[in-house]
Amino acid sequence: PTTPATRATSPNEVPAADYLFAESPEYRRLKQTMELATASGLKNPYFSQHEGITADTTTIGGKQYVNFCSYNYLGMSGEPSVIDAGQQALEQFGASTSASRVVSGEKTIHRELEKAIADFIGVDDAIIMASGHCTNESVIGHLFGPGDLILHDALAHNSIIQGCKLSGALRRAFPHNDADACGKLLEQYRHEYRRVLIVIEGVYSMDGDYADIRPFVDLKEKHKAYLMIDEAHSIGTMGPTGRGMSEFWSVDPTRVDLWMGTISKGLGSCGGYIAARREIIEYLKYTAPTFVFSGGVSPANTGAALAALRLLDAEPERVAKLHSNSELFLTLAKKAGFNTGPAHGTAIVPIITGDSRLALALSMGMFERGVNVQPILHPAVEEAAARLRFFITSSHTEEQIRQSIDLLVTVRDEVVKKIAAAGPVAI
Ligand code: PMP
């Protein structure tokens, strides 16, 4: 904000950048970034329009692509029984909840899904909200406040950071997956604060690596803190039956205070949840702003998520298939000399190029040959961490994976040759 000394004293003095958005520095920055990409002859990789279900394949502009750009980790979004359940809920309950659930928007399937999520994870109860992002933002922002301390992983998702900001609590990041560093912060500062929250994620969405949750559980017990684990990318994908990090690390789920997850990824629908002790869920249901002052998750989304959860329970082999696909992808990528960073055979595998232009050129080259994979460019990540990010699903076939890695090698060789003049590149 401008200081009082430089603030305009009459409307005539207000600079255009302060009231015309097209003139604002933030909009100009966005335009410059986009123009830079087009000037280098590269196409905007964002907002491509998909004409159907995104799974192992997708259709864009009438053409079918092998797809590595979807959170549909277990193929639930296109599963006929999941679609049927969504349609049935739509017919039975309508297209909307038509009210906040607290008032008169509560449908019988809402509680059915919440109980099913709580049972699946192994805790008392759960609450579902219309988006995973809103769930983090609202719940962290609501349960913690000034005088509290939030310690989060340095690579925490935007929704966690937004929640911390909203809370007004003091926020400190500890180095990625470093429980010792988190412990040192607790030793140093715990006594100065009322409540302390530690927030980590199950699987991290940029690198596909994961946390050992056990030391964090010990820390939270030792220091009487709360522990929240965001399972956006681990529910349905980690642990032999997809129950997430508690199953993967054999940790009693009731030792974690807040299990957060999304139903927009492995569960093939749309929304977020918190699974926790009875009192926390009860409190959130009556007071969390994003729940109380917002319409409930749509009936179709609720019905579809419920069917997906039941299917996951009945078919854990989907989880095993996802992992064998990911292992195959990772092994072939490494063999071909690609830098897969700290990837661990989860549903997310990065190919780090360390150069945004290169990542974009690889993504375009793959697209021209029928493979859809998203580049992650600066400023979304540091330039040195620019990458292609592959989302692996249980629906991919071995052939799709093998052919895609072969293509990636061909495209890499072509691209590297083309830009060799600009200096050596290591991918
Ligand atoms: N947490 C993490 C770690 C995520 O990656 C995401 C979305 N990519 C969210 C929360 C938000 O989930 P949703 O898409 O359901 O809003």
pLDDT digits (tens, 9 = 90+) for 72-115: 999 999 999 999 999 999 999 999 999 999 999 999 999 999 99
21 within some domain: no
Query: Domain check: are 61 and 82 in the same one?
Result: no
Residues 131 and 267 in one domain: yes
pTM score of the predicted model: 0.94
The last residue of a domain, from among 314, 333, 359: 314
Residue 27 lies in a domain: no
257, part of any domain: yes
226 neighbors 217 (Cβ within 8 angstroms): no
Q: Are residues 309 and 263 in the same domain?
A: yes
Given 276, 299, 314, the domain boundary residue is 314
88 and 150 housed in the same domain:
yes
Show the ligand 1 pocket: residues with CB < 6 angstroms: 131-133, 136, 157, 159, 201, 205, 230, 232, 262, 264, 272
Dist. CA 3 → ligand 1 center (Å): 37
Within a domain: 10:
no
Residue 252 CA to residue 280 CA, distance in Å, equals 18
Do 139 and 234 lie in a common domain? yes
* Total domains in the fold of the chain: 2
Q: Considering the domain boundaries, does residue 363 fall inside one?
A: yes
CATH number for the domain including 84? 3.40.640.10
State whether 52 and 169 are in the same domain.
Answer: no
Predicted confidence (pLDDT) per residue in 281-339, tens digit: 999 999 999 999 999 999 999 999 999 999 999 999 999 999 999 999 999 999 999 99
Pick from 263, 290, 314: which residue ends a domain?
A: 314
Q: Look at residue 7 and tell me if it is in a domain.
A: no
Residue 161 inside a domain? The answer is yes
**In this structure, is residue 330 part of a structural domain?**
yes
Q: How far is the CA of 232 from the centre of ligand 1 (A)?
A: 6
Sheet holding 348-352, edge to edge: 348-352, 387-391, 374-376
Q: What is the mean pLDDT of the segment spanning 235-262?
A: 98
Q: Give tens-digit pLDDT for 17-74.
A: 999 999 999 999 999 888 877 777 777 778 889 999 999 999 999 999 999 999 999 9
Question: Is 226 found in the same domain as 359?
Answer: no
Residue 237 CA to ligand 1 center (angstroms) comes to 15
Q: Which of 54, 262, 264, 376 to mutate to test the pocket of ligand 1 (most atoms within 8 A of CB)?
A: 262
307 plus 322 within the same structural domain: no
Q: Are residues 57 and 192 in the same domain?
A: no
Same domain, 154 and 287: yes
Rounded distance between C-alpha atoms, residue 255 and residue 276, angstroms: 10
CATH code of the domain containing 384 = 3.90.1150.10
Our mutation pick for probing the ligand 1 site, out of 70, 133, 204, 274, counting the most ligand atoms within 8 A of Cβ, is 133
Q: What are phi and psi of 20, to 5 degrees?
A: -110, 115
Which of 106, 82, 98, 127 is CA-nearest to residue 301?
Answer: 82
Ligand 1 centroid – CA 150 distance (Å): 19
Q: Which of 72, 73, 136, 159, when mutated, tests ligand 1's pocket best, judged by the most ligand atoms within 8 Å of its CB?
A: 159
287 and 385 both lie in a single domain: no
What residue numbers bound the domain in which 354 lies? 37-67+317-422
CA distance 188 to 267: 40
Q: What is the ipTM of this complex?
A: 0.99
Q: What is the mean pLDDT of the chain?
A: 94
CA of 199 to the centre of ligand 1 (A): 14
